[in-house]
A and B are shown apart, each in its own frame.
Chain A
Amino acid sequence: MSPMQNSYLTQSGTRRGLLAWVLSTDHKRIGLLYLVSVLSFYTVGVLLGLLMRLELLTPGKTIVQASTYNAFFTLHGVIMIFLFVIPAIPAIFGNFFLPILIGAKDVAFPRLNLLSWYFYIGGAILVVTALFAGGGPPDTGWTFYVPYSLRSGTNVSLAVFAAFILGFSSILTGLNFVTTIHRMRAPGMRWMKMPLFVWSLYATAWVQILATPIVGITLLLVILERLFGVGLFDPAKGGDPILFEHLFWIYSHPAVYIMILPAMGIITEIIPVFARRTIFGYKAIAYSSIAIAALGSLVWGHHMFVSGQSYTANVIFSLLTFLVAIPSAIKVFNWVATLYKGAIDTAPPFLFALAFIFLFSIGGLTGLIQGALSVNVYVHDTYFVVGHFHYVMFGGTGFAFFGGLHYWFPKMFGRMYSKGRATVALLILFVGFNMLYFSMFLLGLQGMPRRYYDYLPEFHTGHVVATVGSWVLVAGLILMFANLLHALRKGEKAEDNPWGGKTLEWRIASPPPPENFEEVPVITSGAYDYGAR
């Protein structure tokens, strides 16, 4: 049999058609289920973002009412955070490649893995229902801050419950990955021989396990407050709304690392392959993933500098925030050091990785600016913050996701896309991205508050540039996905190892056979053995 026939794409076992996909426990098929569903919701999120930018093209009303705009930014946030950025890399590439990278047949709990996807879909359906059902789409912002979220007449309970279910999905994926990494590594795959993407997934999985339950209970409490008026967050009954913010950010700040750590893992896979050099500082990168996960759990209070929490807490959280920059910077230094004297191949995945390093560095450094207490008071809840997290989440995680997609696409589907078109798409994307989000830094410094429907005339120029940037950005996205979709059907057949990678996925056929490996691989060398140069 040729590899194309004996692949996970065609060998579906006893079931046929769609059922062979939605009932499959093969980690690769589940990865593709996530790919299709995550990208569908990503499209919705992008459209909402586009509409928001269109509304902000002119002061006052442009296309929608203020209340609709509130619903737009809430749903854009909920969809992008819970349905795209959090699951994107772990659930898609983690599922597809984690077992292959450690030389295993599947994850530790294949059926639980499928269940996680159903939780994801269930949560997603609830989010969509919250759009259309009775009270109308929620208008609280994705943070669901009390007391407004307790009073809003919109479908807050439904949206909050959706986030709870999605949290469950995330926890189960994390639990599965930790067990898989502990139990399923091939002979010789010692901890310090694992590909660094696996290390980053391991750190991520721990954050998913330890932080997600906190937001789970917090969201349940919001529902209980709305249903029974218990009063735990209601100042009129002695409750403390700031405690909601504590509990919310105890999860949601580490969640930022759930989003960025796997992205850093992908970049760490791409850089050595296209520089043809052993990764610089393997252990430093591996341990810095753990350090980011640990330190990232101590800094949630920096979201609350102007909430009314104590000054002591402000100072402590500000100090701790600066510490997180250290392991992140270690990674950036190591990536750049790997490039030094490398034989660089400027293929699209590598260009995405470079774009990541540039955009993530801007995102990270502006994060430090806001970590400083006094500056934070000035830029808090302005477009500066919006610019910052889009640089980290989209410029960082988003670009790494696209980079990973271009890196592993030939392996996943056995076909190669047009590299020229991919490069052009990346350039357009990059230009549009910076037009859109760099304007936000300037708008923020000028004093434009986030989440406002209307604005003063002096902010007009910035908003126009940002909106035009959003059009350029979306043009880049369309070109990029069109190129990939075209390759899916018409692309030339990909080799087993088109990039010259050294990790295990490049030793098997493209697309991989259902059982991944014909015989259990025995690992004798490190993951990035390109020899000294």
Chain B
Amino acid sequence: MSTALLEHRDDAGAKIGMWLFLLTELLLFGGLFVLYSVYRFRHPGEFHDGAMELNLILGSVNTLILLTSSFTMVLSIAFLRLVKRGASLLALAMTILLGLLFLVNKYFEWSAKINHGIFPNSPELLARSHGEILFFGLYYVMTGLHGLHVVIGVLLLSIVMVWMVRGKITPDRDIFLENAGLYWHLIDLIWIYLFPLFYLIT
């Protein structure tokens, strides 16, 4: 690569690129929201029954965890801007830990359901009504895809943390941290909708 390219740096451009990517992520989930809205429209009662079986406490706790992790994420960026590297790293580490905690909860939630015989194509589930099969199908697919994004987010933040320790990210060169933050907030954003759509159906 020529040196001219290495020197080329456009933070505003990098941010536009990141936002465009986030939009594609929104639409990726968007396809699932199309399915969700159609099937909920057709089976309101069964979706309610399905939601009653989900663990509202675990779901709520995970919501609080993810919201708090978004908070620590913005703190990390704000601290870096104030040239408080230690505080910034600490906030970033908290974000990663909260992300992992979310995954641990998700693991317990899923395994409890699976132990009760509720998982895609399970005999227990197939014996139920169509609406409930669809509800749990969407539940696994949507929270699964979201969980996958949390995993990717945690990995991304860890890489950013390494870069920060190595001095590749500095107060006047924080675009990587900012963009990773945007990605993390998007994960939060999607969960903000998934939570009421799956756990809170009356």
Q: Do A and B interact directly, with beta carbons closer than 8 Å?
A: yes
CA distance A224 to B8 in the complex (A): 42
A239 within 8 A of B: yes
CA distance A491 to B13 in the complex (A): 41
Instruction: Return chain B residues, CB-CB under 8 Å to A246.
Output: 34
CA distance A424 to B38 in the complex (A): 55
B82 within 8 A of A: no
Other 11 A-B pairs with CB < 8 A, given A231-B134, A240-B39: A13-B1, A25-B5, A171-B24, A175-B20, A183-B10, A183-B12, A213-B27, A213-B30, A230-B137, A231-B121, A237-B126
Instruction: Return chain B residues, CB-CB under 8 Å to A183.
Output: 10, 12-13, 16
Determine which of A211, A214, A230, A247 lies in contact with B120 in the assembled complex, contact meaning CB atoms within 8 Å. A230
Instruction: Return chain B residues, CB-CB under 8 Å to A214.
Output: 27-28, 30-31
Determine which of B4, B20, B140 lies in contact with A179 in the assembled complex, contact meaning CB atoms within 8 Å. B20
Q: Which residue of B lies closest to A214 (CB)?
A: B31
Q: Are B13 and A179 in contact (CB under 8 A)?
A: yes
Q: Report the minimal beta-carbon distance from A224 to chain B, rounded to whole angstroms.
A: 6
Q: 0/1 per residue, B1-21, Cβ < 8 Å to A? A: 110110010101110110011
A-B pairs, 5 with minimum CB distance: A238-B130, A229-B121, A217-B31, A213-B27, A183-B13
CA distance A221 to B140 in the complex (A): 12
Interface hits, A205-222 → B, CB 8 Å: 209-214, 216-218, 221
Chain B interface category by residue count = 35 or more
Interface hits, A400-446 → B, CB 8 Å: none
A337 within 8 A of B: no
Main SS at interface, chain B:
helix
Determine which of B16, B21, B38, B126 lies in contact with A240 in the assembled complex, contact meaning CB atoms within 8 Å. B38
A interface residue numbers (CB < 8 A to B): 13, 25, 105-106, 108-110, 112, 171, 174-176, 178-179, 182-184, 209-214, 216-218, 221, 224, 228-232, 237-240, 243, 246-247, 250, 514-515
B114 within 8 A of A: no
Determine which of B25, B131, B134 lies in contact with A213 in the assembled complex, contact meaning CB atoms within 8 Å. B25
Q: A108-B10, A243-B38 are in contact. Are A178 and B16 (CB under 8 A)?
A: yes
B133 within 8 A of A: yes
Determine which of A106, A243, A515 lies in contact with B35 in the assembled complex, contact meaning CB atoms within 8 Å. A243
Interface hits, B66-106 → A, CB 8 Å: none
Q: Are A237 and B133 in contact (CB under 8 A)?
A: yes
Q: A108-B10, A228-B120 are in contact. Are A218 and B31 (CB under 8 A)?
A: yes
Instruction: Return chain B residues, CB-CB under 8 Å to A514.
Output: 2
Q: Which residue of A lies closest to B140 (CB)?
A: A230
Q: Which residue of A lies closest to B15 (CB)?
A: A179
Q: 0/1 per residue, B122-139, Cβ < 8 Å to A? A: 000010011101100110
Q: Report the minimal beta-carbon distance from A159 to chain B, rounded to whole angstroms.
A: 19
CA distance A175 to B145 in the complex (A): 22
Q: Are B27 and A175 in contact (CB under 8 A)?
A: no
Q: Report the minimal beta-carbon distance from B140 to chain A, rounded to whole angstroms.
A: 7
CA distance A291 to B145 in the complex (A): 33
Q: Report the minimal beta-carbon distance from B98 to chain A, rounded to whole angstroms.
A: 27
CA distance A185 to B116 in the complex (A): 59
CA distance A512 to B58 in the complex (A): 61
Q: Are B32 and A179 in contact (CB under 8 A)?
A: no
Instruction: Return chain A residues, CB-CB under 8 Å to B21.
Output: 175
Instruction: Return chain A residues, CB-CB under 8 Å to B20.
Output: 174-175, 178-179, 209
**Pairs A–B under 8 Å by Cβ, sample size 23:** A25-B5, A105-B8, A175-B17, A175-B24, A179-B16, A182-B16, A184-B13, A209-B20, A213-B25, A214-B27, A214-B28, A216-B28, A217-B32, A217-B145, A218-B31, A230-B137, A230-B141, A232-B134, A232-B138, A237-B130, A239-B134, A247-B34, A514-B2
Instruction: Return chain A residues, CB-CB under 8 Å to B13.
Output: 108, 179, 182-184
Instruction: Return chain B residues, CB-CB under 8 Å to A105.
Output: 4-5, 8
CA distance A166 to B8 in the complex (A): 28
Instruction: Return chain A residues, CB-CB under 8 Å to B14.
Output: 109
Determine which of A110, A179, A211, A243 lies in contact with B5 in the assembled complex, contact meaning CB atoms within 8 Å. A110
B112 within 8 A of A: no
Q: Report the minimal beta-carbon distance from A211 to chain B, rounded to whole angstroms.
A: 8
Q: Are B1 and A25 in contact (CB under 8 A)?
A: yes
CA distance A209 to B8 in the complex (A): 25
Q: Are A213 and B31 in contact (CB under 8 A)?
A: yes
Instruction: Return chain A residues, CB-CB under 8 Å to B130.
Output: 237-238
Instruction: Return chain A residues, CB-CB under 8 Å to B23.
Output: 209-210
Q: Are B131 and A238 in contact (CB under 8 A)?
A: yes
CA distance A105 to B43 in the complex (A): 55
Q: Are A237 and B16 in contact (CB under 8 A)?
A: no
Q: Report the minimal beta-carbon distance from A178 to chain B, rounded to whole angstroms.
A: 6
CA distance A175 to B18 in the complex (A): 9
B108 within 8 A of A: no
CA distance A286 to B26 in the complex (A): 28
Instruction: Return chain B residues, CB-CB under 8 Å to A182.
Output: 13, 16
B29 within 8 A of A: yes
Instruction: Return chain A residues, CB-CB under 8 Å to B131.
Output: 238
Q: A171-B24, A230-B141, A238-B131 are in contact. Are A179 and B120 (CB under 8 A)?
A: no
